[in-house]
Amino acid sequence: MNQPNFPVARAYRAILRHSRHLTETTKHLEWEVVEGGKFDFLAGQFISMTLRDGANEHTRAYSIASAPGPDGRFAICLNRVPGGLFSNYLCDLEPGARLGFSGPHGFFVVRQPPVERDLIFIATGTGIAPIRGMLAELTAPGAALDRALWLLFGVRHPETILYREEFERMAADQPRFHFVPVLSRAPEGWTGERGHVQEVLRKHFAGQRDFEAYLCGLKAMVDDVRTILKGEFGFDRRQIHYEKYD
Ligand SMILES: Cc1cc2nc3c(=O)[nH]c(=O)nc-3n(C[C@H](O)[C@H](O)[C@H](O)COP(=O)(O)OP(=O)(O)OC[C@H]3O[C@@H](n4cnc5c(N)ncnc54)[C@H](O)[C@@H]3O)c2cc1C
What is the DSSP annotation of 89-129? Answer: HHHHPPTT-EEEEEEEE---S--SSPPSSEEEEEEEGGGHH
pLDDT class for 1, splitting at 50, 70, 90?
very low
Give the range of the structural domain holding residue 202, as residue numbers without chain letter.
118-245
Q: Which of 74, 105, 136 is where one domain is finished?
A: 105
Same domain, 95 and 155: no
Same domain, 77 and 182: no
Residue whose CA is at the smallest distance from ligand 1 atom 44: 81
Same domain, 60 and 28: yes
Ligand 1 mean position, distance from CA 176 (Å)? 33
Separation CA 34–CA 135 (nearest Å): 26
List the strands of the sheet with 98-105, edge to edge.
Answer: 56-63, 46-53, 98-105, 10-23, 26-35, 73-79
Ligand 1 mean position, distance from CA 245 (Å)? 7
Q: Other C-beta atoms within 10 Å of 120: how many? A: 24
Ligand 1 mean position, distance from CA 188 (Å)? 32
Q: Which of 72, 105, 138 is where one domain is finished?
A: 105
| Mean predicted lDDT score pLDDT of the chain | 95
What's residue 146's pLDDT?
A: 82
What's residue 244's pLDDT?
A: 96
Looking at the structure of the chain, the number of domains it has is 2
Residue 60 alpha carbon, nearest atom of ligand 1: 17
What's residue 5's pLDDT?
A: 86
Residue 87 alpha carbon, nearest atom of ligand 1: 26
Higher per-residue confidence, 5 vs 216: 216
pLDDT tens-digit readout, 115-148: 778 999 999 999 999 999 999 999 998 887 789 9
Share of the chain above pLDDT 70, in %: 97
Same domain, 122 and 239: yes
Question: Is 126 part of a structural domain of the chain?
Answer: yes
